[in-house]
Structure 1
């Protein structure tokens, strides 16, 4: 089995490398001269904490600067997934600048991770556990999918198409993301850990991380273990790296762009999610542009990725 896995990974790497040869490289740096508008929610959260984006950036920068072990873990995870450490750094910096403050010490993340094992919570909505929810007939279209990314992405699409903001079987469902409704039991929009992953993303990447890093597969029926995984830096960094690798591969395969030299783009995709869907949408847009005699549009950074590219030189200096 180990030999077959090695052969599979080698073949997958060859396919990705071949695709990269025909993909258009996206150059480093920002496409926008000025930072795109920062969403109101991010600004209001930061103001409520009586801080600024710059102070939050400096706080996470100091964590990276002073913790050699963290930098080593980032480098190791990046090597496993064949990406530059700057992609992981960009995701961490973006999340802790525009989402939540970083903790002052990496050890705090470990302490928080252990605390979730003893917590009593479930992945559910209005008394319906997600395990029962995904057994509804509407999800039967996903039953033939085995890879965790394909399976949970399919379930997310079913949610968006048939349940989100709808009344089904006499039950009203919120007009909100699948991850916010079922997978964030403390409050909607909640993410955790050094990589600020949400539990649904972790479930999507579970098979990839199991295959490449050898970590146990996650189970939606064990939410405590899912939360421990996304809080523990030793466990969550491979998930962060796998998520970023997925974006790079998706844009290679579906949009015809090699984004591996632009951490601002991968940080943007880490922020907004759904890289396969976005890559396909960009391919359709560019097909129309070419048909109309226009130049194809390169992938562009949002406010979050713009900061990463803007500060890239000083972040690279840490490694």
Structure 2
């Protein structure tokens, strides 16, 4: 009789644990905020002056640059096939990749005439002799400073490099430390543009720092070698090669979606938000700030598109047509 009682208790306990797990899952599902499609603002947010200066320098307009990248995407059927394949591999809608490309080439660099130009540039950078340094100090050496010790326990390249980026902003950017004056530059601009300011990075305009952040994911999903700052040529090969660009863009978008999901926001249905994050970077920091704002009772409840992401949502029907799909 006692054995049967023990068995009954065991079964009841197991059932309770299963029910509890399901309840927790339901709570977590309910807690996830699905960011709706479309723009939060009826009008486009201000475009930075640097973008306007760049357009004027090349005697062009945003609309002309937009039409250039649209024409390239229509013309390059191989690229569109790569975009769709990369999107499927990283479990995202391909419109997120299209949005990232269109935003970059509308407001930053202009699309070149043919994909062959990107291949030539990739080869040139891959054979160059350079290192990632700031004021003569290699980034690998700089990261040995005690200020970065809090990052050593971070798991994975995304968490690790995001932490290092934040430490730079908090401890060095625009400050004088140990008698050294650090300019008010981002971590990316200080260390990862070894050739010149305003340097461009191929079809996807992927920065070396961002590539380092997603290298673990790209290694796991696509089998590419892990990137490290002591092999800068390998980083440039990957970010400049058009055949790899779609894969890295997909990984960057996937990483942003995952970072926001971890804080309770599903941004996967809003390509304007993912385009905004592709433009500004730092998805973990921004997701954490949004969650903190919501928790504090702030009026800020959802992520908001910047000028770059706003355009993507505004032109969504035309962009979806490139993929042979339409907005529901």
TM (norm. structure 2) is 0.87
1:83-122 pair list within 5 angstroms: 83-122=92-131
* Alignment partner, residue 172 of structure 1: 181
Distance 1:112 1:180, change over 3 A: same
1:117-128 pair list within 5 angstroms: 117-128=126-137
Deviates more, 1:78-87 or 1:233-242: 233-242
Output the aligned Cα RMSD.
Answer: 2.0
- The question of whether the paired residues in 2 share the 8 Å contact of 1:113 and 1:232 is answered with yes
Distance 1:214 1:170 in 2: 44
Distance 1:19 1:243, change over 3 A: farther
Q: Does 1:316 align with 2:320?
A: yes
Q: Does 1:47 align with 2:60?
A: no
Query: How many pairs does the alignment contain?
Result: 300
1:97-246 pair list within 5 angstroms: 97-246=106-255
SS in 2 for 1:317: helix
- The question of whether the paired residues in 2 share the 8 Å contact of 1:190 and 1:198 is answered with no
| Deviation by residue 1:215-260 (Cα, 9 ceiling, x = unmatched) | 1111101111111110102222221111111111122221x22111
Distance 2:129 2:30 in 1: 49
Runs of 5+ unmatched residues, structure 2: 1-24, 324-328
1:229-268 pair list within 5 angstroms: 229-254=238-263, 256-268=264-276
Q: Does 1:305 align with 2:309?
A: yes
Structure whose alpha-carbon radius of gyration is higher: 2
Distance 1:40 1:20, change over 3 A: farther
Runs of 5+ unmatched residues, structure 1: 1-15
Q: 2:47 aligns with which of 32, 38, 41?
A: 38
Q: 1:79 aligns with which of 84, 88, 93?
A: 88
Q: 1:57 aligns with which of 51, 66, 82?
A: 66
* Alignment partner, residue 4 of structure 1: none
Distance 1:143 1:251 in 2: 23
Q: CA deviation at 1:145?
A: 2.8
| Deviation by residue 1:64-86 (Cα, 9 ceiling, x = unmatched) | 01111000000011011100000
Q: Does 1:277 align with 2:285?
A: yes
TM (norm. structure 1) is 0.89
